[in-house]
């Protein structure tokens, strides 16, 4: 085997391992969170979110310290999260980050894992709306058609859940709020990232530190501090094992997301995420023995199809704009 072929094979193996790791970690996180939110006798979704942001921030801090002690082995951006300029730049974004985590957990608490993807499927729609309202960027007619397909799939999925008697109004609302907050977070991240020199890890570290602080009053307002003090299994090893696993998964998702984009592309990451959601829905239906109607499965397929087509259309639009810009520069 030639050196070129060995290099290509090594690249493909790396991509396969990265994408596989992203799928495994992402699906595991959803199932672990569902267990924490619905299958233990503790009504404390904000505490679950708090534990995950705290563990992620702690891991980032350890990596930061390690980068100073062993600079040749570890790399981490030099960021002071308590610097007033850093806080001024990132804290507003951290409110959206916190809202995104909280609504995601609440949506998952009140809905099944199988419905979770449908409940959160309006993110693309909000992206189009807010991109126009906030950034002034117009969307092509082809993208609008794709959005209409996604909305129809969402409506059909909600309708089938309602007919089956399994629709949770709270889960429905938190799913929409989760999509909205994720959309806003994605848009404002583009504006904030340059303020930390484009360092994704610096932004992730700061966001998780600030979110940990912001979630404490939310826990108090939700009455979770009292619930924790009365929880009989608080000191059982199993409870803390699954809490730590959930937090580690939260950190690992950020890590594998970055790797997946690095070794493939942002478009491939979106396609991978869409395919992962499909696999996750099928696995959840089998695991929890959820029997769904043909139209319910059709709604998932419609949302997946609309999302995939939207991603492809956006790629074509970006390539066209790039060629137009290149032609203009040459002239």
Give yes or no for a contact between 273 and 123, defined as CB atoms under 8 angstroms apart. Answer: no
Phi, psi of 145 (to 5 degrees): -65, -45
Report the candidate in 253, 256, 220 with the shortest Cα–Cα distance to residue 53.
Answer: 253
**Mean pLDDT in each 10-residue stretch from start to end of the chain (331 residues)?**
63 81 86 80 85 90 90 84 89 91 86 78 82 78 88 89 84 88 81 82 89 93 85 80 84 75 62 74 81 86 84 75 58 50
Any idea what DSSP says for residue 164?
Answer: H
Three-state secondary-structure class, residue 239: helix
What per-residue confidence (pLDDT) applies to 322? 62
What per-residue confidence (pLDDT) applies to 3? 56
In whole angstroms, give the CA distance from residue 262 to residue 37. 32
In whole angstroms, give the CA distance from residue 90 to residue 111. 31
Spell out the residues 6+ positions from residue 168 whose beta carbon is closer than 8 angstroms to its own.
Answer: 110, 111
Helix intervals (H) in the chain: 3-38, 45-69, 84-110, 113-119, 123-135, 141-164, 169-192, 200-221, 224-230, 237-263, 266-287, 294-330
In whole angstroms, give the CA distance from residue 133 to residue 261. 27
Give yes or no for a contact between 234 and 51, defined as CB atoms under 8 angstroms apart. Answer: no
What per-residue confidence (pLDDT) applies to 208? 92
Give yes or no for a contact between 186 and 127, defined as CB atoms under 8 angstroms apart. Answer: yes
Cα atoms in the 13 Å half-sphere on the side-chain side of 241: 4
What per-residue confidence (pLDDT) applies to 212? 94
What per-residue confidence (pLDDT) applies to 236? 82
What per-residue confidence (pLDDT) applies to 213? 95
What per-residue confidence (pLDDT) applies to 265? 60
Cα atoms in the 13 Å half-sphere on the side-chain side of 252: 19
Give yes or no for a contact between 158 and 111, defined as CB atoms under 8 angstroms apart. Answer: no
Give yes or no for a contact between 127 and 298, defined as CB atoms under 8 angstroms apart. Answer: no
What per-residue confidence (pLDDT) applies to 6? 59
What per-residue confidence (pLDDT) applies to 202? 86
**pTM of the predicted structure, to 2 decimals:** 0.81
In whole angstroms, give the CA distance from residue 112 to residue 203. 31
Cα atoms in the 13 Å half-sphere on the side-chain side of 10: 7
Give yes or no for a contact between 193 and 201, defined as CB atoms under 8 angstroms apart. Answer: no
Radius of gyration (C-alpha) of the chain in whole angstroms: 21
């Amino acid at each position: 085997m030639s050196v070129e072929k060995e290099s290509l094979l090594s690249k493909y193996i790396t991509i396969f391992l990265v994408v596989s790791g992203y799928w495994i970690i992402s699906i595991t996180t959803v199932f672990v969170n569902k267990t924490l939110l619905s299958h233990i006798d503790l009504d404390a979704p904000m505490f679950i979110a708090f534990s995950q942001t705290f563990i992620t921030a702690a891991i980032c801090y350890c990596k930061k310290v390690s980068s100073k002690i062993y600079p040749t082995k570890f790399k981490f951006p030099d960021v002071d999260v308590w610097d007033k300029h850093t806080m001024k730049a990132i804290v507003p974004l951290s409110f959206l980050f916190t809202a995104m985590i909280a609504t995601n957990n609440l949506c998952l608490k009140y809905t099944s894992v199988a419905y979770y993807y449908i409940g959160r499927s309006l993110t693309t729609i909000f992206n189009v709306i807010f991109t126009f309202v906030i950034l002034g960027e117009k969307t092509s007619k082809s993208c609008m058609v794709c959005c209409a397909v996604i909305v129809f799939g969402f409506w059909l999925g909600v309708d089938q859940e309602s007919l089956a008697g399994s629709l949770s109004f709270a889960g429905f609302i938190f799913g929409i709020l989760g999509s909205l907050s994720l959309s806003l977070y994605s848009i404002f991240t583009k504006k904030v990232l340059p303020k930390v020199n484009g360092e994704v890890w610096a932004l992730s570290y700061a966001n998780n530190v600030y979110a940990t602080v912001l979630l404490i009053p939310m826990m108090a307002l939700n009455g979770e501090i009292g619930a924790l003090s009365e929880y009989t299994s608080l000191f059982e090893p199993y409870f803390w094992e699954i809490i730590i696993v959930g937090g580690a998964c939260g950190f690992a998702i950020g890590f594998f997301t970055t790797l997946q984009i690095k070794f493939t592309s942002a478009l491939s990451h979106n396609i991978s995420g869409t395919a992962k959601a499909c696999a996750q829905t099928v696995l959840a239906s089998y695991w929890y023995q959820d029997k769904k109607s043909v139209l319910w499965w059709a709604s998932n397929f419609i949302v997946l199809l609309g999302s995939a087509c939207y991603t492809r259309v956006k790629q074509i639009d970006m390539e066209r704009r790039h060629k137009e810009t290149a032609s203009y520069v040459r002239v």
